[in-house]
Amino acid sequence: MPILSAKARVAGVVGWPVAHSRSPLLHNFWLTRHGIDGAYLAFPVEPGKLALAVDGLAAAGLRGLNVTIPYKEEVFGLCNEITDFARRVGAVNTLRFEHGKILGDNTDGFGFIANLRSFGVDPTMGPAMVLGAGGAARAVVAALRDEGVSVTVVNRTYARAEALAAEFPGAKVAPWDQATEALADYALLVNTSSAGMHGQPPLAFSLNRATPMLAVADVVYVPRETLLLREAVAKGLRVVPGLGMLLHQARRGFASWFGVEPSVDQELIDYVAGDIPRFEDKPIERSSS
């Protein structure tokens, strides 16, 4: 890390808990690479103290913050301005403190699309099926619809898929138990559910009906190679792991706080990946749902 002067630019991440966050690792990697007089820190903010912490950190001269679980919705009320994308997604993950104002953005959609493109996958190549209807799904559906992609939302709990699709004009919905059969009609499959994540059951979703043209993306990045991605690789399909989404979404915050456009390259991927297991070490029974 570069030596810090009294002019050092400071940013960070607020969450509870926050010790799991990989954001300090990657932002400090970029700060070192670019020799910037700056630092990025993790701030564990207890429930009930978000407003106090954000206002205090802004008053102390920080450039901005990332916001992680459980505060991505609560932080809305603290922002003076919110980007249209963050408003549609219903979550803010990046704050910029500027001229006494707090500006809120959501960079997950940008990160998702940039990650696809970095793997040579053009999101506009055909219809997309999005599995899941939580926070990650909202960003992915919004980003794909902004690209003009035809999107079908599929979720274990059908009513949540319907509710999500209703909020994004043009998005369709399909029942979970019919989705695998319909896969041949899609160019892109995106898992945004938490199934396959460390400590969760693997995703119960067959790729048997996929055509060779299907690209499979997973937003889960712990482990780096989910069972879904391994099955896709075994079938010779193109895959897009979730770690790159995390790295690309961070570019926008870093550029606005530290004034340098950072890049995502193999050295950064290897550095952050070193902190994340490649496979799930203790396989859990495949979910029956």
Which of the ranges 15-23, 30-38, 243-251, 256-264 carries the binding residues for ligand NAP, by CB under 6 A? 243-251
Query: Is the peptide bond preceding residue 277 cis, with omega within 30 degrees of 0?
Result: no
Considering the complex, what minimum distance in angstroms separates the CB of residue 55 from ligand NAP?
A: 26
Please report how the helices 23-33 and 243-258 are oriented relative to each other, as an axis angle in degrees rounded to 10: 50
The answer to whether 109 contacts ligand NAP (rule: CB under 6 A) is no
Which of the ranges 16-24, 34-42, 96-104, 213-221 carries the binding residues for ligand NAP, by CB under 6 A? 213-221
Considering the complex, what minimum distance in angstroms separates the CB of residue 71 from ligand NAP?
A: 13
* Side chain identity, residue 246: L
Considering the complex, what minimum distance in angstroms separates the CB of residue 182 from ligand NAP?
A: 17
Catalytic pick from 72, 101, 172, 235?
72
Looking from the CA of 96 toward its CB, the CA atoms found within 13 Å total 18
The answer to whether 287 contacts ligand NAP (rule: CB under 6 A) is yes
| Strand ranges for 180-243 from DSSP E | 188-191, 215-218, 238-240
What is the C-alpha separation between 93 and 88, in angstroms, rounded? 13
Contact criterion met (CB below 8 Å) for 105 and 94? yes
Cα distances from 54 to residues 12, 40, 103, 162, in angstroms, run: 11, 15, 12, 34
# chain residues binding ligand NAP, by CB under 6 A = 28
Torsion on CA atoms 163, 168, 170, 173, rounded to nearest 10 = -30
The answer to whether 256 contacts ligand NAP (rule: CB under 6 A) is no
Residue 47, SS3 per DSSP: coil
* Side chain identity, residue 79: C
- Determine which residue in the list 155, 180, 226, 256 makes contact with ligand NAP, applying CB under 6 A: 155
The answer to whether 123 contacts ligand NAP (rule: CB under 6 A) is no
Which of the ranges 39-47, 49-57, 153-161, 272-280 carries the binding residues for ligand NAP, by CB under 6 A? 153-161
- Determine which residue in the list 33, 34, 117, 160 makes contact with ligand NAP, applying CB under 6 A: 160
Instruction: Rank residues 32 and 157 by Cβ distance to ligand NAP and give the closer one.
Output: 157
Considering the complex, what minimum distance in angstroms separates the CB of residue 62 from ligand NAP?
A: 22
For residue 82, the cross-strand partners are 104
What is the C-alpha separation between 19 and 43, in angstroms, rounded? 9
Contact criterion met (CB below 8 Å) for 142 and 85? yes
Instruction: Rank residues 116 and 136 by Cβ distance to ligand NAP and give the closer one.
Output: 136
Contact criterion met (CB below 8 Å) for 262 and 34? yes
The answer to whether 286 contacts ligand NAP (rule: CB under 6 A) is no
> By CB under 6 A, what part of segment 79-108 binds ligand NAP?
108
- Determine which residue in the list 64, 104, 132, 223 makes contact with ligand NAP, applying CB under 6 A: 132
Instruction: Rank residues 184 and 284 by Cβ distance to ligand NAP and give the closer one.
Output: 284
72 is known as an active-site residue: yes
Pairing between β-strand 188-191 and β-strand 128-131 as defined by DSSP bridges: parallel
Q: Which residues bind ligand NAP (CB under 6 A)?
A: 108, 111, 132-137, 155-157, 160, 192-195, 197, 200-201, 219-221, 242, 245-246, 249, 287, 289
Catalytic residues: 72
